[in-house]
Amino acid sequence: MKPFFVGLCLLLCLSSFAQDIDSTWFSQNYTKKEVYITMRDGVRLFTSVYMPVSTAEKHPILMERTPYSCAPYGAGQNKPYWGSYLKAYCREGYILVTQDVRGRWMSEGVFENVRPFNADKKGKEIDESSDTYDAIDWLVKNIPNNNGKVGVFGISYPGFYSTMAAASNHPALVAVSPQAPVTNWFIGDDFHHNGAFFQMDAFSFYSALGGGFGVPHPKPISVAPDPVPYPDYDSYQFYLKAGTLKNLSRYMGDSIAFWKDLMAHPNYDAFWKARDARNATKNLRPAMLWVGGLFDAEDTWGAFNAYKAAEANNPGKSFNKIVEGPWYHVQWANQDGTHHGNIRFGSNTSEYYQENFDVPFFNYFLKGKGDVSKFAEANIFFTGANEWKTFAQWPPAEKTATTMYLQPNGKLSAEKPGGDNSFSEYTSDPAKPVPYDEEVHFTRTRKYMSNDQRFAARRPDVLVFETELLDHDVTVAGPVIADLRTSISTTDADFVVKVIDVFPDDMGHNNVDIYANEDPVLPYPMGGYQMLVRGEIFRGRFRKSYETPAAFTPGKIETVKFELPDIAHTFKKGHRLMVQVQSSWFPLVDRNPQQFVDIYHCDEKDFIKSDIKIFHNGENASSIILPVIR
């Protein structure tokens, strides 16, 4: 072909990629191929490959491995990449690949939830990292016109598979972005926080009544079974009537294998330790971009802590960065990142992330386009101040551990309390647990992560401690430590600690009415708003060890000390800082019977009231420890 015609073809190709991306454009510029890729043990994994028609240049491969289906299936049935920010990758001419993981949807084999990483695989032994290695190896050798460079990304469960992909260290894999990655299902993600069982998420995810994820796929399927209707659409009532986890298990039946695993492993045993994705963060060769949401109700913990593990396990690694924005689960991949519930951010933070982090990251490492010199080690959005900040490490080196003591009469200050036997007390009644949200709904709301806590502050079984009006801004960056001195009248209890930003009384209403996405904001009285910045629960029996729970001695003062997930927030001058303490968070978390029994198999008669004392005196001073930067 003569140079003139080569140039003309290239110009026409570039022109097509500059056009607006819609379904017509996509069908004209991409072709789809469905293939089965054979793994080292002979199992075949179903894979959808979308390839640019243009051959004017070689194309990088961007891959997602998922348990949620790479539908739509069939020739001419295209995944709607044009409907999200991923259209930027279409415009850039990426080969886009989605794969059903082993045992899910159209793939063969047996599915295993959060399959453990095996660092010492031999022969035909497999894990998710080896499946990724084998898939990448096939793709770079068999997909025409690829440039030999592969990137992997995924959100939530696909974020877990992204972490596993990074551990494969295939030489063609140069960039990986685990986003809200499932990392540890006992300590902080999805189904347990500090050993407390998040029943709403687990039940709705696995049961046929909810998402049906746990329904087995004995053979490849392309269409999901219809969900079974719930008997009640008031979540508080439904779970209260169920009474016990044993009764919830009856709804599950006998076919949901992982629910049985949840019920069979109440402590942090070898089962859970093997399923900690941080095991796969050693010797990572690809460039890593970890992404998470500060208000992610599902996987707030994973992104921060997988990133920290990768930092610790790869000293001197040139590119291991983190981005955290003010988002609910997946919000950074949506079009509207302007608000979370009633809290507004002053800009579209999702678009900012997509344009400044996600696309530039993969373009640089897969195409050699642009630069990543402006990527800091930690790129964090601070609510309250509504601004992006950058740091050379996370948590920031310049943070100072600042202790705020719980005081008599509901006060909170940096001054250590005096006295001999000062305490605040409440009765935790399993028959009337503290709700996590004041609205009536069934599906767990994502807005609770920043919702107004005034409804809880009014209850007698919630302790409230707050500062005077702040005379200067207080910026907190990193994990918060709750350090409680407590005695209880029973042998077990849960402890919920909430860090709250109390807005000035003269704030007025949030006079907006936005339905830009499924998270509408209606006019709401913001004067005195108690914004949940971070809340976390701790199951008291694990105060000494997650592996070996211990009963409380009734009436004995003990320490319950635990870490709340990282926060990035500025408490503005004129606001107050509040701490709430309670012992239930229902039905988000299952009820603790408040006796040292097997919670997963106990009976309704085992649930009893407990009198909880939180001490604030010279000898036993309860506090929270804030990582403050100045």
Rg (alpha carbons) of the chain, rounded to whole number: 25
DSSP symbols for 332-384:
GGSS--SEETTEE-SS-HHHHHIIIIIHHHHIIIII--S--TT--SEEEEEBT
Q: Is the separation of the CB atoms in 594 and 489 below 8 Å?
A: no
Closest CA to 534 of 193, 236, 234, 196: 193
The amino acid occupying position 328 is Y
Closest CA to 266 of 591, 599, 604, 609: 599
pLDDT under 70 in the chain at which residues? Answer: 1-19, 209-211, 227-230, 511-522
Helices of type H across 243-348: 245-252, 257-264, 270-274, 300-313
3-state secondary structure of 200: helix
The amino acid occupying position 278 is R
Q: 495-553, pLDDT tens digit by residue? A: 999 999 999 999 887 755 444 445 555 689 999 999 999 999 999 999 999 999 999 99
Residue at token pair 């997602």: 64
- Longest Cα separation, the chain: 93
Q: 454-493, pLDDT tens digit by residue? A: 999 999 999 999 999 999 999 999 999 999 999 999 999 9
DSSP 8-state assignment for residue 145: T
Q: Is the separation of the CB atoms in 421 and 617 below 8 Å?
A: yes
pLDDT for residue 484: 98
pLDDT for residue 520: 58
DSSP symbols for 551-588:
PPPTT--EEEEEEEEEEEEEE-TT-EEEEEEES--BTT
| Cα 454 from Cα 251, distance rounded (Å) | 34
| Cα 277 from Cα 178, distance rounded (Å) | 11
Q: Is the separation of the CB atoms in 90 and 31 below 8 Å?
A: no
| Cα 226 from Cα 231, distance rounded (Å) | 16
Q: Is the separation of the CB atoms in 452 and 593 below 8 Å?
A: no
The amino acid occupying position 20 is D
Determine how many CB atoms are found less than 10 A away from the CB of residue 416: 13
CA 256 to chain centre: 23
pTM of whole model > 0.75? yes
pLDDT for residue 142: 98
CATH topology for 400-629?
A: Jelly Rolls (2.60.120)
Q: 311-353, pLDDT tens digit by residue? A: 999 998 889 999 999 999 999 999 999 999 999 999 999 999 9
pLDDT for residue 19: 59
Determine how many CB atoms are found less than 10 A away from the CB of residue 303: 27
3-state secondary structure of 257: helix
Q: Is the separation of the CB atoms in 143 and 149 below 8 Å?
A: no
pLDDT for residue 219: 85
pLDDT for residue 13: 37
Closest CA to 425 of 623, 611, 618, 609: 611
Sort 368 into a burial class: Cβ within 10 Å, 0-12 / 13-18 / 19+.
exposed
DSSP 8-state assignment for residue 385: T
Give the torsion through C-alpha atoms of 204, 209, 215, 221, to 10 deg: -110
| Cα 32 from Cα 17, distance rounded (Å) | 17
Helices (H) and strands (E) in the chain, counts: 14, 25
| Cα 193 from Cα 188, distance rounded (Å) | 4
pLDDT for residue 432: 98
Closest CA to 542 of 192, 301, 303, 189: 192
Q: Is the separation of the CB atoms in 136 and 143 below 8 Å?
A: no
Which parts of 67-194 are beta strand (E)? 95-100, 146-155, 173-179, 192-193
